[in-house]
A and B are shown apart, each in its own frame.
Chain A
Amino acid sequence: MSGNVQILMGNHAAAEGALAAGCTFYAGYPITPSSEILERLAEKLPAAGGAFIQMEDELASISALVGAAWAGAKSMTATSGPGLSLMMEGLGYAAITETPCVIVDIQRAGPATGQATRVASGDIIQVRYGSHGDYCPIALSPWSVQEMYDLTIRAFNLAERYRVPAFVMSDESVGHLRESVRLHRDFEIVERNRDIKKPPFGTDAPDGVPPMPAFGDGANLLVTGSTHDEWGYRRVDHPDQHTRLVGRINKKILDHADDIVEVDARFLDDAEVAVVAYGFTGRSALAAVKRLRKEGVRAGLLRLITLWPFPEKEIRALDGQVEKIVVPEMNRGQVAGLVRQHVRGDVVSLCQTNGEAIEPVAIVDKVQEVLA
């Protein structure tokens, strides 16, 4: 175990994770409850040799992110619901151009301006389906300040490994939580393959991830958001090229679900009821499961650390093993709906959209209700 232990706010830990992962470019726009990330990197990124810029809006932020990534940077932004909505077109551009970048989303109560300082987890479906067309981003969901640090680092590595936008889908409660975090260096850093001799937008290799040279490497790159062939030439009326490109950018993520998906399973071996939770709600869910165990209920927790690609295999493993699945979440059942797609048994949704975190007692009550 290396690294010093500090008491930090979750948002500051995400900024520290970015620095540890080798982030060299940050572009952002102030938005509650994510602004502490912007402010911390404004102070620390230039001192670490990177570039920081506050852009004119979120449309510009995600655009600058992609421009910087192609100039060789590891780039990041942070935002919340309204800003994330503005970034949707740029997200699609990052996906089709296979641009690694990291977006930290500190979720707040929506839709629209909603309650800016209040917690929610209403953006889960949006990041997967909010941009038009088919694409598959990576999304990780931290439940602690430590995971704000660890998962930001992992998001950078996965973004580079798979040439894809990667999200840290946090929420206001984790973002503003203060607790101890170990700023360790116990991880590998994934570096980009900048081979200029191979095509940057197509590969026959089974992993489906082509090399990505940077501007200035002498590759005479053609980068476009239009459908393109493996060298980047626009092919906007060619059915096969479109099929091949859209197929590969989705497949390269879905085929590697085993590498990307991470879950935290607790007390599941003998469980009759499973609570499936993520983000801050995972903390309440663990407390609820422990309380239920004390009362003699065989409850277990499956905490989703990866949200996208969705942990289908891990969810399917619950089917038949547990009698009931309870999904507490701070939205109208976004993940519960996904869980239902993969199991035949009962999936009970515990929705809370009042701008407050779900308390353990609410989960305990719901589990007892479904078992009654």
Chain B
Amino acid sequence: MTRAMEHWLRTEHTAFCSGCGHGILLGCVIRAVDELEIDRKNLLFVSGIGCAAWIPSPNIQADTLHTLHGRAVAYATGAKLANPRLTVIVVSGDGDLSSIGGNHLIHAARRNIDLTVVCGNNQIYGMTGGQTAPSTPVGARTATDPQGNVYRPFDLCAVVRAAGAPYAARWPVTRPMSLIDSIKKAVKTDGFGFVEAISPCPTQFGRRNRLDDLTKLYDHLVGLCVTREEAKKMKPEQLWERFVIGEYHD
């Protein structure tokens, strides 16, 4: 392991499936806090329920609060208000933060509470067996949409920005340097910072969408990413099966 990993990881193995993007995201979160030289004693990670909620807990050597499904942001709000010296980083999944926990996400953004929320978006409910999430692209097959999802997904960066978040960014885990940079910016933001990491799920998403081969799955993901400039030339419905990547701030 590298020095940063030795410094921050509790264990040498994770529970993630092979090919899962959440291990890369774990590395990005650790490198971001390491480069920011945050005092471990005053650093708190909060997560909900689901695969992404296992990114900090129990992997990261700091205070961690692994909460109920959907409620991570509300727990984090309480901890931050009770002890404002804490740097509080929520790491959780797309279903956790935007479906069952959507209300807490928009209200924390509205209040501009000084939290960082990192959303590991694998576009599916991984831990429960591959059901549709509010982030599942149109057309993607899941355990509950075997013919393909027909409902458009949330644009979570747009959602939190509309609710008042001063900083939001979206990157695939195939761009770790951008992710590290954005996590650092979100932590340094005086207020609510949001980073969405597009993360492939080979076990539940890949095998249902003829993307069993890991390189195919990662190539597919990269191919769906468009920059904000490119997105401006596209129709909104074309974006329902793509990821607009980049930063959003004032």
Contact = CB atoms under 8 A, between A and B. Distances in A.
Interface residues of A, number: 42
Most B C-beta atoms less than 10 A away, residue of A93, A216, A224:
A216
A221 B71 contact: no
Contact of B74 (A59, A72, A218): A59
A218 B71 contact: no
Interface in B35-72: 40-42, 44, 46, 57-58, 61-68, 70-71
A56 interface: yes
Contact of B68 (A56, A57, A221, A225): A225
Given A25-B78, A64-B74, A220 B107 contact: no
B234 interface: no
A73 B82 contact: yes
A214 B81 contact: no
Given A216-B41, A216-B42, A222-B58, A64 B81 contact: yes
Interface stretch (A1-9, A117-125, A226-234, A313-321): A226-234
Contacts of A343: none
A64 B68 CA distance: 12
A89 B68 contact: yes
Interface string A207-226: 00000001111111111111
B208 interface: no
Contacts of A223: 63-66
Contact-size category for B: 20 to 34
Contacts of B61: 220
Given A59-B71, A63-B68, A90-B71, A70 B58 contact: no
B79 A67 contact: yes
Nearest to A67: B78
Contacts of A57: 103
Interface of A: 24-25, 27, 51, 53, 55-57, 59-61, 63-73, 75, 89-90, 93, 214-226, 232-234
Most A C-beta atoms less than 10 A away, residue of B41, B44, B63:
B63
B86 interface: yes
A71 B41 contact: no
B63 A67 contact: no
Most A C-beta atoms less than 10 A away, residue of B71, B74, B78, B80:
B78
30 contacts: A24-B82, A25-B82, A63-B78, A64-B74, A67-B75, A67-B79, A70-B65, A71-B44, A71-B83, A72-B83, A73-B82, A89-B68, A90-B71, A215-B44, A215-B83, A216-B42, A216-B86, A218-B41, A220-B61, A222-B64, A222-B66, A223-B63, A223-B64, A223-B65, A223-B66, A224-B57, A224-B65, A225-B66, A232-B58, A234-B57
A234 B65 CA distance: 12
B207 interface: no
Given A56-B103, A71-B78, 17 more contacts: A25-B82, A56-B107, A59-B70, A60-B74, A64-B78, A67-B46, A73-B78, A73-B82, A73-B83, A214-B83, A215-B86, A220-B62, A221-B64, A222-B66, A223-B66, A224-B65, A234-B66
Secondary structure of the A contact surface, majority rule: mixed
Contacts of B76: 67
Given A57-B103, A216-B41, A220-B61, A72 B82 contact: yes
A219 B65 CA distance: 13
B152 interface: no
Contact of A93 (B67, B80, B83): B67
Given A216-B63, A222-B58, A226-B66, A60 B77 contact: yes
Given A60-B104, A93-B68, A25 B81 contact: yes
Given A63-B67, A63-B75, A221-B64, A216 B58 contact: no
A60 B71 contact: yes
Contact of A70 (B41, B68, B77, B79): B79
